[in-house]
Structure 1
Amino acid sequence: MPVIQRIYSKFYEHLVELRLWVLFSLIGAYLLISWLLFVWAGETDLVSDPVVFLYFASTTASTVGYGDLSPATEAGRLISALWFVPGALLIFTAVLSKLTSSLVQGVRRMVDGRGNFRNLSGATVIIGYHSDRTERMITDLIAGKDNDTKIVLLATSADITVPEGVRFVRGDRLDTLETLKRAAVEYAEKIIVYTESDAETFNTCLAIRELSGNVHVAAYFGDRDTARRATKLAHVEAVVSSATETLVRAAQDPGASRVIMALSSATHNATIYSGVLEGTRAYLAAEVEQQLLSVNAVLLAVGQNGADDVSFKPFPRDLGGGTTVYYVAQQRLEPETWSRLMEKLDAEVLA
């Protein structure tokens, strides 16, 4: 008896929740019983072809009504009135309720941050939330026109304002592998880490490296020593507040702070972008500068391959393949424009 009681309780639970197997079983049983009853009633036009019978059932269930197909015998009409139509309406309502419930639950999961984007590739992931800064970061990402159309925000709090078009993931901790996987970190294109503390940021960077060894990670630190360790151990680009330096520059050169802020934000007329000199050839810095000017971009600095520091003007005479060039422009150079620029540089080398 206890076994039967457990089976009954389990079945009742699945029936109340309208599990998929229960729903499909009910539909199958309903169609089979209806088909047998119409066979008994002699409704050969309805049951001779399975496709015709399914069409007849669907028009009945959706309340479209009878037109080209309807019961011809008195027994068939009684079966239709007492069994087929009520059953079809009940099942049709149950299917709609199940679909609506699944849709509402899915939307609620996304709003509550319980979504799962582990298979999303090429995303830009922001880890950590600050009410006064995160929305501005997202605005800058979109304004940068760097194909940042898939943005995922990972935070520990549910009481946040999620900008339109941004996917939201919530976790109890930001440095757990499962939470990071849900936030599409494993196949992300770039990651920004800006948490409540340097310790949490440091641990999160290490966890990210367990999932992806190549993704570019930019992380904010308040302490320079922690930033240095994160750069060395987690291979991230550590960003430390330059408010003090900016304040000094503003005092010595009025307006310098506005220039620094403008160059740091893609929402202004011009900002800093970067590109890599492809290939293994050595290019003349003067020629690189000239080619950038031809497409309305100004060469600002260069970072030699493997070097930690960047060089400003006067630039090194030769720039080897793999050198990162930083330029100021109104928008990022399109891949086609950059390819044409590289072709012209190659032609100059071979000339």
Structure 2
Amino acid sequence: MPILTKLLSRFYRELLDLKWWLLSVFAAMFFVVSWVFFRLAGEAEITESLATYVYFAATTASTVGYGDMSPQTQMGRMIAAFWFFPGSLLIFSAALGRLAGGMVERIRRMADGFGSYETLHHATVIVGYNRDHTPVMIENLIAGQDGDKDIVLLTSSTEGDLPEGVKLVKSDRLDALSSLKRAAIPNAEKVMVYANSDAETFNTCLAIRELNETLHIAAFFEDRDTARRAAKLAGLEAIVSNASEALVRAAQDPGAGQVLMAMSAANVGATVYSATVGANVEVASLRAALYASEATLISLRQSSGDEFEFAPFPSQLMAGGTFYYLCQERLSAGQISDKIEGADVSITV
């Protein structure tokens, strides 16, 4: 008796939840029994083949009712009226409601930040939310014209409205591997980390690197020593507030602070962009190519080192090196490579 009671209790719970397996069993039993009834009633047209019967059942259950097929005998019509029509409509309605409910629940979970984007590829991920800075970061990502089609925000809480199209993922811990997976980190293209503290940022960056060894990580730190350690251990690009330096520049050279801010914002005037060369290139030719597109070369970084080189520039930028230029908008690879004279150089932007 205890076993039977448990089975009945389990069955009752499954019935209340309208589980798919239970609905499928009921549907299969109903349509098989209905076929037997129609067969016994002499409805040869309806039951002559499986395809014909499935067609009749589908058009009846969905209330489409094309009218090209219907019971012909008196008994068949009685079976259809009192058994098949109500039963098939009930099963169809239950299946449709279950499907719609599942879709609505999935959409609601996604909107509330409890969904998963683990299968999303080449996304731009922002980890952490700052009421003053995150909306501006998203605005600059879109204005930066770097193909940031899918933007995912992983946060423990949001205090303001997010721009339309941003995919939200909520978690109590930003450094939890399960949460980072839901935020599409394993297949992401780039990630920005702006957590509430340097310690949380550091741990999150290490967790991100555990999931994706090649992902480009840009992270903000308050402390320079922590930023240096994080850059070395997690292989990331650490950003430290330069407010002190900018303040000095603004005091010594009026307007310099505003220029620095404008150069950092993709939606205000000219902005700093970067690109990588696939072969050795003469810097003079590179400067001329950029100038032809109304851009200005401002810095180089060879593939063999971390130091930035400013004017006067070396004669060559070696293969794998990166150059930084100032322009009103990001230039395409073709816009740059087509104007480089004397060499066929591939450009990656």
TM-score (norm 1): 0.94
Deviation (angstroms), 1:307 = 2.1
Instruction: Give deviations 1:146-173, integer Å, cap 9, x for gaps.
Output: 0100111000126553321111111110
Q: Please name the residue that 1:296 is paired with.
A: 294
Deviation (angstroms), 1:341 = 4.4
Tell me which of 339, 343, 347 is aligned to 1:346. 343
CA distance in 2, matches of 1:158, 1:81: 56
Instruction: Give deviations 1:30-86, integer Å, cap 9, x for gaps.
Output: 110110100011011111022221121122112223611111111011101110110
Instruction: Give deviations 1:124-146, integer Å, cap 9, x for gaps.
Output: 11000011211111111111110
Q: Please name the residue that 2:98 is paired with.
A: 98
Map 1:1-351 → 2, pairs under 5 A: 1-65=1-65, 67-157=67-157, 160-279=160-279, 281=280, 283-341=281-339, 344-346=341-343
CA distance in 2, matches of 1:171, 1:47: 55
With 67-76 and 299-308 compared, the bigger mean Cα shift is at 299-308
CA distance in 2, matches of 1:336, 1:178: 40
CA distance in 1, matches of 2:228, 2:265: 25
CA distance in 2, matches of 1:276, 1:26: 62
Instruction: Give deviations 1:182-216, integer Å, cap 9, x for gaps.
Output: 11111111010000000000111111111111111
TM-score (norm 2): 0.95
CA distance in 2, matches of 1:345, 1:299: 19
Aligned residues: 345
**Structure 2 counterpart of 1:56, one-letter code:** F
Query: Does the CA-based 8 Å contact 1:193-1:219 persist in structure 2?
Result: yes
CA distance in 2, matches of 1:83, 1:206: 63
Instruction: Give deviations 1:271-329, integer Å, cap 9, x for gaps.
Output: 110011212x3x33222111111222210111122322211111122222122100011
Query: Does the CA-based 8 Å contact 2:298-2:324 persist in structure 1?
Result: yes
CA distance in 1, matches of 2:83, 2:270: 72
Quickly say closer, same or farther: Cα 1:164–1:88, change in 2 above 3 A.
same
Q: Give the match's secondary structure for 1:192.
A: strand
Q: Give the match's secondary structure for 1:125.
A: strand
CA distance in 2, matches of 1:218, 1:38: 69
**Structure 1 counterpart of 2:187, one-letter code:** Y
Deviation (angstroms), 1:345 = 4.9
Deviation (angstroms), 1:111 = 1.6
CA distance in 2, matches of 1:231, 1:54: 64
Query: Does the CA-based 8 Å contact 2:121-2:187 persist in structure 1?
Result: yes
Quickly say closer, same or farther: Cα 1:227–1:55, change in 2 above 3 A.
same
With 216-225 and 18-27 compared, the bigger mean Cα shift is at 18-27
With 159-168 and 44-53 compared, the bigger mean Cα shift is at 159-168
**Structure 1 counterpart of 2:295, one-letter code:** A
In structure 1, list runs of 5 or more residues that go unmatched.
none
Query: Does the CA-based 8 Å contact 1:288-1:345 persist in structure 2?
Result: no
Instruction: Give deviations 1:221-262, integer Å, cap 9, x for gaps.
Output: 011111111111111100000111111111222222221111
CA distance in 2, matches of 1:135, 1:293: 33
CA distance in 2, matches of 1:127, 1:238: 14
CA distance in 2, matches of 1:131, 1:110: 21
**Structure 1 counterpart of 2:30, one-letter code:** Y
Provide the identity percentage: 49
Instruction: Give deviations 1:84-142, integer Å, cap 9, x for gaps.
Output: 11011111210121012101110111022111112211111100001121111111111
CA distance in 1, matches of 2:333, 2:175: 35
**Structure 2 counterpart of 1:269, one-letter code:** G
Query: Does the CA-based 8 Å contact 1:301-1:327 persist in structure 2?
Result: yes
CA distance in 2, matches of 1:92, 1:110: 27
CA distance in 2, matches of 1:242, 1:133: 15
CA distance in 1, matches of 2:45, 2:144: 65
What RMSD over aligned residues (CA atoms) do the two structures have, in Å? 1.6
In structure 2, list runs of 5 or more residues that go unmatched.
none
CA distance in 2, matches of 1:241, 1:176: 26
**Structure 1 counterpart of 2:322, one-letter code:** T
Q: Give the match's secondary structure for 2:139.
A: helix
Q: Give the match's secondary structure for 1:70.
A: coil
**Structure 1 counterpart of 2:47, one-letter code:** V
With 56-65 and 240-249 compared, the bigger mean Cα shift is at 56-65
Q: Give the match's secondary structure for 1:137.
A: helix
CA distance in 2, matches of 1:169, 1:175: 13
Quickly say closer, same or farther: Cα 1:194–1:18, change in 2 above 3 A.
same
